[in-house]
Amino acid sequence: MVSADNFGLFVTGTLIVVGLLSLAISGPTIERERLPGGEYYALMLFATAGMMLMATATDLLVIFLALEVMSLAVYVLTGIRRDSPPSTEAAFKYFLLGAFSSAFFLYGIAFTYGLTGSTRLDQIGRLVPTLATSPTPMLFLALGLLIVGFAFKVAAVPFHMWTPDAYEGAPPAVTGFMSTGVKAAAFAAFVRVFLSALEPLRGDWGEVLWIVAAATMIVGTVAGVTQSSVKRMLAYSSIGHGGYLLLALLSGNDYGKGAVLFYLLTYAVTNIGAFGVIALLDNADRPNDQVKDYAGLWSDHPALATLMTIFLLSLGASRRRPASSRNGTCSAAAVKAGYTGLAIVGVLTSVVSVFFYLRVVVMMYMTAADKPAQFPPVPKIAGAALVVCAILIFYLGVLPSRVLDWAAASIATIF
């Protein structure tokens, strides 16, 4: 029911990086908010354990159990600031919608078991080709319910409504953790189920994912442009990035398969860095969450301004360069798979997305603050974590060959 193959190990390594960096940037938040440190770190570890199990599970029921271990811990982390109404509201919305999505996913597992007599992915994969020759309404229902369950966890449109509120209400360190770890674990399970066990039904679920991917990229980009809150902007950015990952998953060729893993790693490092800067700039009296709050940051905190610039520009660039080979991208994978229209949507939305990243950069360097900002000092551990994120970004951007080869070789083990 659990496979320690290279695919699972690559995703597990990514999740370990996510967990370590998230813990490193959590110290200032815990001290400032006076959060219960023991419960906070325990929940982080429970969530990470659930993510790792989800990445290596080869049985639908084990995937569901891992999903719940991860989700319940993240629900509590979202609302761990119990005296904060936005945090409590965010956790409540996330929990209710998560419960609905879990029900959809579990019913999808039930229908799949009814059709195949098994919940093991390898056995389902052997029986699905026979079912594909004469599909039944129950088969389409099972596919639809499984897609809904996964789409909620990866914040795909129209199941994204929880994302902006949860990202805004949770502590910044928690937001960085769940925006990367949850997405990585969910996409790992998504790949195992749909590109392995349910691959013969690509003609059926591919059309649905085409619409979902296009809507996710468009909504994430358009809504992100209108945000004045940096956390909500990054929330919609995360939605848009989910659309690009769906684009790679939908392509299903050698370019697209490896692109999923490489994209997850680069996005995880970049997004944790961005939310780490937000966590360090936050203080008890002023959240410094609005775009205008970053005015003059270059004058007050040149090091943090430089790091934030690296992270934001990387988020914009990663939409166009999530390679799975030395010269492959998600868009190239889509074109090779025959999804030219979807590739065009991806390119256009990636160009528009650069605007809301550059808006923060312009505010930091070219706009003077109305009054002197009050930023807390930067702890050594959290600052070192941000520097590590920046180094990893440069390494993955300048010398990606080895990691790209690892990603391509790892994902090949599940096919």
Q: In a 10 Å sphere around its CB, with 0-12 CB exposed, 13-18 middle and 19+ buried, how is residue 18 labelled?
A: buried
Domain membership of residue 371 (yes or no) is yes
pLDDT tens string for the chain (415 positions)?
Answer: 888 888 889 999 999 999 999 999 998 888 888 888 899 999 999 999 999 999 999 999 999 999 999 999 999 999 998 888 888 999 999 999 999 999 999 999 999 999 999 999 989 989 988 888 888 899 999 999 999 999 998 889 888 888 898 988 888 889 999 989 999 999 999 988 988 888 888 888 888 999 999 999 999 999 988 888 888 898 998 898 888 888 888 876 666 667 778 888 888 999 999 999 988 887 666 667 788 888 878 888 888 889 999 998 888 775 555 433 333 466 666 777 777 888 888 888 888 888 888 888 888 888 776 665 566 677 889 889 999 999 999 888 887 778 877 887 877 766 5
Range of the domain at 182: 6-414
Domain membership of residue 388 (yes or no) is yes
Contact in structure between 300 and 308 (CB atoms under 8 Å) = no
Query: Quick one: which H or E segment has residue 309?
Result: helix 302-318
CA 174-175-177 angle, 5° bins: 65
> Token pair of 277, please?
């800067």
Instruction: List the one residue out of 246, 281, 310 whose CA is nearest residue 373.
Output: 281
Domain membership of residue 248 (yes or no) is yes
Domain membership of residue 1 (yes or no) is no
CA 364, CA 304: separation in Å to the nearest integer? Answer: 10
CA 285, CA 181: separation in Å to the nearest integer? Answer: 29
Q: Three-state SS for 400?
A: coil
**Number of domains the chain contains:** 1
CA 94, CA 163: separation in Å to the nearest integer? Answer: 8
Q: What is the pTM of this model?
A: 0.88
Q: In a 10 Å sphere around its CB, with 0-12 CB exposed, 13-18 middle and 19+ buried, how is residue 59 labelled?
A: buried
Domain membership of residue 211 (yes or no) is yes
